[in-house]
Amino acid sequence: MGQIKSDKTIINSSVEKVYNFLSDFNNFKDLMPEQVKNWTSTEDTCSFEVSGMGQLALRIVEKVPYSKIRILPETGTKLPFTFELISHLDKINDGETSSEFIFEHEMPMMISMMASRPLQNLVDILGKKLKEHCEKPGF
């Protein structure tokens, strides 16, 4: 199984607030790159289109309070590979959280070579936008 990891990001917000934000897919629209279109979501599911790739549907399948959120493709989603997206959170202190996104996958070598840069970009954008959002005044 391959892994693509974002850098660990230090967020100036409590782990509880960051976890509560990430545990609801309705909030993820604010974290998505500009290539994502036609976003629809509930608390635990989302679907969207990625320019040049087609439709994708995801489901939050595991929530470990204040430490981990695990996301898988929705049943019936047709993809040429399997993956999961994991968000790890660690409390540094009452007002700081460490965050990391991990994309774990099993994909053929050719797909992996083509997809690794866009997937690295995705997890990096998620980390950056999460920090920006969670550090806004009033968050």
The model's pLDDT over 61-73, given as tens digits with 9 standing for 90+, comes to 999 999 999 999 9
Provide the mean pLDDT of the chain: 94
Q: How high is the pLDDT of residue 76?
A: 80
The pTM assigned to this predicted structure is: 0.93
65: Cα separation from own chain's centroid: 16
pLDDT more than 70, % of the chain:
99
Q: How confident is the model at residue 50 (pLDDT cuts 50, 70, 90)?
A: confident
pLDDT at 27 over 90: yes
CA 95 from centre of chain: 22
| pLDDT beyond 90 at 84 | yes
Alpha carbon distance 53, 5 (integer Å) = 21
How many Å apart are CA 88 and CA 21, to the nearest integer? 13
Position 75 scores a pLDDT of: 85
Q: Does the pLDDT at position 54 exceed 90? A: no
Q: How confident is the model at residue 127 (pLDDT cuts 50, 70, 90)?
A: very high
Matching residue, tokens 């399997």: 82
- Tell me what the mean pLDDT of segment 29-38 comes to: 91
